[in-house]
Amino acid sequence: MLARVANNLFWMGRYIERSEHVARYLCVNYFSSLDAPNEFSQSRQFVLKSMLFMVGDPHKTEEELYDADVLYNIGLNPDKSYSIINCVKLARENANSARDIISTELYEAINKFYHFVLNYSVDDYVKKGLYDFTTNVMEFTAILKAKIRTTLLYDEVYSIIKLGINLDRATQVIRIINSKYNDILLIRNQDNTGMGSSLEWSTLLKCVESYDMMNRFQKKIPNSINTLDFLILNSNCPRSVINSLHEVTEHIQVLSSEKKPKKDSTIFLVHKIYNEYKYKYIEEIEVDFQTFIDKILNDLVAISKKMEKEYFNY
Amino acid sequence: MKSCKDHPIFSSYSGQQNKLDEVFDKNQKVKPVYQTLFDIYGAHSTNDFSILNEKAKTSFFNQGITFQVYGNNQTKEKIFPFDLFPRIIDSKEWEHIEKGVLQRSQALNHFLWDLYHDKKIIKQGIIPEVLINSSANFLKKMEGFNPPGGVYNHISGTDLIKHSDGKYYVLEDNIRCPSGVSYVICNRTALKRALFGVFDKYQIHSVTNYSQNLLEIIETVKPKGVDNPTSVVLTPGVFNSAYYEHSYLAKGMGVELVEGRDLFVEKDFVYMKTINGPRRVDIIYKRIDDAFIDPKAFRKDSVLGVPGLFRAYLKGNVCLVNAPGTGVADDKAVYTYMPEIIKYYLDEEPILNNVHTYHCSRPDDLKFVLENIHNLVIKPVDEAGGYGISIGNKLTTQEINKVKEVIKESPRKYIAQPIMSLSVHATYIEGEGSFEPRHVDLRTYTLLGKDKNFTLKGGLTRVALQKGNLIVNSSQGGGSKDTWVLKK
């Protein structure tokens, strides 16, 4: 496979995954705040700030935020690099330059997704279409991932896309956890309720589409320890960070023909990072959560950069 | 689908005097071969058909068969207009066309070999030397070079029209980079999706086997010493208007679609940059004009090409498809000599007719052209896509005078032909919500390999969507139709 095309497919996978997580965060966070238990967590400013924090554009001033502006910026503003419309455009652009090697079915699904987002009325979206728009985005991404799984040969093309998907999934899940953790800290500072009510942890689980899985697994009210443990370290949870890292180790293997990886190779780095987190326990992480967040985000960036150097250098 | 007898879609169809209508005869009666289609289509109301038309357009959008239009700081995606009413060519007529286009492709290949080797045809005075020497597309660097398998024009696109006398005439032979074949296949797909019920009424040839045949043909001209060649399609990139076609063909052949930046030349061998390191490339189906393929050999400012590629080609280490320098033979001035070229190399009579052509480089012809512009079509010899064409009877006196000046400035650059009466075909006109006659032509695709050839049984029927317009090129607002070749 061409190095340039591999790079494009990797990023196609990343942008597909990213658009899903951003859409879900918007949807779950916005609607759960409408009947949140206290005035602070119910306030528009609180929820809008949380959304901006998650996409990496934290609101740093005291200026009032407006629903329509924030929703537009995150959903359909083509000038914001983090917006869903931009993610979808970039996913399609990357697919375009690799359309000869992805399946017709996958390309057509991406194209439909692109036309759906591109033609969505901004006015409808900010006034009444948030649920419709975000759930459609989530459904489109589910279709795309099904097309990836069922219409591509399980070879290096498939693995490159899956590497993109899983690295971005781990990144987005960490960002969502970080964002909600930050929200919970803010709420705690307001009402001194300890590490947040179960509702905030439930919202976090829903933001990562893992609430039902957690219910089945724990059969306990979500709290900081069991929720973070589940979302970061539970290898049976398909959304967990450790699961995504495991997938990365599996797919990077497909790109390498060497039995014993060299010390400076991507495969070596991936295994090293995966094994480090595999043997962590949640109490260890919770002691200094912010350091953990920074470190794991840096680790994920390091893998991406290493891949770029080793495979996408053209 | 419900029928609406009050508003049949053919109700406003009116016959055209002195024009050959492929669907209706002189008495406005449907021709037998179209009767079944006519009955099926005629059962639709305008509203039904408009919905079907929209569905077909959506199908093109969803398949990503679009091109970008730039303007006002915005890019817009558009589809090439597609007409849902197919054109039918019966098996006997097709047999004639197929033999004719293959004959032309083979003759042109002999001609190119001769031009770049002994130039016998010039020495014997059949083609004037000045015609070749003055051609911007004659590539001196190709002189004496033997292309793999002896093939220059692996892919030929022949443009034909059906004249009011019922005969097919060749308008142009395109042997540089003929495009449009992907639309032949997409048109079929779109028609199947929108009106699948019509297909079981006719026995037609499939058009989906083009890519496999293309791969088989180009692999016959692999470089010496290569057993399993690696072929690629070379594209200028995603912003090229034909990018869809490039990706379609690469996908259909199961080969990589590369850009110039994906390739490099080392020790006169061509490699592509893969995730596992360099991989040798043996055959390149290039969709880039000759001038841009190699900045070391041709245009230095080309960022689309591969430095050293032409040298690797001349060393015999890679095969380029079509060969560089083929443009000299699809010069419109050379076209006029096609009957002589066919007779000289194949010792056969031309199967397809040529349109009588006046060379503005000849004093007598120039005089005639200048005096009769209002009855002629003036074409630049080296342009494609319908650019630079002037149709005499559509020009004002002022415009005629301007064209005269342009011709007089560089007569070699222009040829003139009588205004041919392209046949018309029933075409759905969106703005009118009904069928109207529109002019059509046909582009066929012929492949030549070493001891192998293939002609796609079908072709691209291009249709001029504006009333009375004779230029069918997509770049000039033309659309296209599915073309059905009936089985025997």
Closest CA–CA distance from residue A221 to any residue of chain B (Å): 45
The whole-angstrom distance between residue B355's C-alpha and the CA centroid of its chain comes to: 17
Q: Alpha-carbon distance A243 to A285, whole Å? A: 17
The answer to whether residues B257 and A107 touch, using CB atoms and an 8 Å cutoff, is no
Closest CA to B340 of B121, B118, B106, B99: B121
Tell whether the model's pLDDT for residue B260 goes beyond 50. Answer: yes
> Residue B291 in contact with residue B254, Cβ under 8 Å?
no
Q: What is the pLDDT of residues A228-265, one digit of tens each?
A: 999 999 999 999 999 999 999 999 999 987 778 889 99
Rounded to an integer, the average pLDDT of B445-457 is: 96
Q: State the distance between the two ends of chain B, measured CA to CA, in whole angstroms.
A: 32
Place of tokens 């990503």: B64
Judged by DSSP in three states, B387 sits in coil
The pLDDT score that the predictor gives to residue A174 is 96
B325 and B107 Cβ atoms separated by less than 8 Å? no
Choose the closest CB to A3 out of B247, B248, B274: B274
Diameter of chain B measured on Cα atoms: 73
Q: What's the 3-state SS for chain A?
A: CEHHHHHHHHHHHHHHHHHHHHHHHHHHHHHHHCCCCCHHHHCHHHHHHHHHHHCCCCCCCCCCCCHHHHHHHHHCCCCCCCCHHHHHHHHHHHHHCCCCCCCHHHHHHHHHHHHHHHCCCHHHHHHCCHHHHHHHHHHHHHHHHHHHHHHCCCCHHHHHHHHHHHHHHHHHHHHHHHHHHHHHHHHHHHHCCCCCCHHHHHHHHHHCCCHHHHHHHHCCCCCHHHHHHHHHHCCCCCCCHHHHHHHHHHHHHHHCCCCCCCCCCHHHHHHHHHHHHHCCCHHHHHHCHHHHHHHHHHHHHHHHHHHHHHHCCC
Measured CA to CA, the distance from residue A81 to residue B400 in angstroms comes to: 53
A112 touches chain B (CB under 8 A): yes
- Contact: A100, B233; criterion CB under 8 Å: yes
d(CA B8, CA B42): 6
Task: Give the whole-angstrom CA distance, residue B79 versus residue B60.
Answer: 7
Rg (CA), chain A: 19
pLDDT value of residue B28: 87
Residue B166's region, left for phi above 0, alpha for psi from -120 to 50, else beta, is left
Residue B62 distance to chain A (closest CA, Å): 5
Q: How confident is the model at residue B4 (pLDDT cuts 50, 70, 90)?
A: very low
Residue B5, pLDDT score:
43
CB B222 within 8 A of CB B187: no
Instruction: Mark which residues 20-49 of A lie under 8 Å from B by CB.
Output: none
- Nearest by CB to residue A314, choosing from B250, B257, B262, is B262
Nearest residue on chain A to B233, alpha-carbon basis: A100
Identify the sign of the CA torsion B266, B272, B273, B274: negative
pLDDT of residue B15: 72
Please answer yes or no on whether B261 and A111 come within 8 Å at the CB atom: no
Q: What is the pLDDT of residues B149-208, one digit of tens each?
A: 999 999 999 999 999 889 999 998 999 999 999 999 999 988 988 888 889 899 999 999
Q: How far apart are CA A123 and CA A126, in angstroms?
A: 6
B251 with A108: Cβ contact below 8 A: no
Q: Cα–Cα distance between B239 and B247 in angstroms, integer?
A: 12
E strand intervals along B118-255: 155-162, 168-174, 231-234
Q: Are A190 and A211 a contacting pair, CB within 8 Å?
A: no
Q: Do A107 and B261 touch (CB under 8 A)?
A: no
Place of tokens 């080609």: B313
Query: A-chain residues within 8 Å CB-CB of B262?
Result: 2-4, 314
Q: Is domain B356-418 given the CATH code 1.20.1440.230 in the classification?
A: no
Q: What average pLDDT does chain B have? A: 90
Residues of chain B with pLDDT > 70, as a percent, come to 95
Q: pLDDT band for position A73 (50/70/90)?
A: very high
pLDDT bucket at A62, cuts 50 / 70 / 90: confident
**Helix H or strand E segment including B260:** none
CA distance B173 to B113: 17
Q: What average pLDDT does this structure show over B341-364? A: 93
Query: Which amino acid makes up residue B356?
Result: H
pLDDT, tens digit (0-9, with 9 covering 90-100), for B278-328:
999 999 999 999 999 999 999 999 999 999 999 999 999 999 999 999 999
- CATH (residue range B89-349): 3.40.50.11290
pLDDT digits (tens, 9 = 90+) for A104-141: 999 999 999 999 999 999 999 999 999 999 999 999 99
How many helices (H) and strands (E) are present in chain B, helices listed first? 13, 22
Q: What residue of B is the nearest CA neighbor of A92?
A: B64
Between residues B107 and A195, the one the model is more confident about: B107
Distances from the Cα of B171 to the Cα of B35, B395, B486, angstroms: 30, 21, 24
- Closest residue on chain B to A7 (Cα): B275
pLDDT at A166 over 60: yes
Q: What is the pLDDT of residues B121-130, one digit of tens each?
A: 999 999 999 8
Q: Which residues from B are below 8 Å from A255, CB to CB?
A: 275-276
Q: Quick one: which H or E segment has residue B205?
A: none
Outline where B361-422 has alpha helix (H).
Answer: 363-371, 397-409
**Which residues, 6+ apart, have CB-to-CB distance to A36 below 8 Å?**
A42, A199
Judged by DSSP in three states, B86 sits in: strand
Are A239 and A208 in contact by the 8 Å Cβ rule? The answer is yes
Q: Contact A2/B238, CB-based, under 8 Å? A: no
pLDDT exceeds cutoff 70 at A195:
no
3-state secondary structure of B18: coil
A246 min Cα distance to partner chain B (Å): 22
Region A63-79: mean pLDDT is 95
User: What is the distance, to the nearest Å, from the Cα of residue A291 to the centroid of all Cα atoms in its chain?
Assistant: 20
Sort B451 into a burial class: Cβ within 10 Å, 0-12 / 13-18 / 19+.
exposed
Contacts B246 to A, Cβ<8 Å: 100
d(CA B189, CA B208): 10
Chain A environment of B272 (Cβ under 8 Å): 2
pTM for this predicted structure: 0.88
Determine the 3-state secondary structure of B24 from DSSP. Answer: strand
Q: Please, what is the Cα angle at B223 between B457 and B322, to 5 degrees?
A: 45
pLDDT tens per residue, range B322-340: 999 999 998 878 888 999 9
Show which residues on chain B lie within 8 Å of chain A, measured between beta carbons.
61-64, 233, 237-238, 243, 246-248, 250-251, 256-259, 261-262, 272-276
CB contacts, 8 Å: B248 with chain A: 100
Q: CB A3 to CB B243 under 8 A?
A: no
Give the torsion sign (CA, B220, B221, B224, B225). Answer: negative
pLDDT of residue A13: 98
Q: Which of A99, A311, A314 sits opposite B261 (nearest CB)?
A: A314
Q: Which residue of B has its CA nearest to A94?
A: B238
Give me the residue spans of the domains in chain B. 89-349, 356-418
Class of residue A161 by CB neighbours under 10 A (exposed 0-12, middle 13-18, buried 19+)? buried
Q: Does A3 contact B61 at a Cβ distance shorter than 8 Å?
A: no
What is the CA angle B217-B218-B221, rounded to 5? 105
Q: How far apart are CA A300 and CA A306, in angstroms?
A: 10
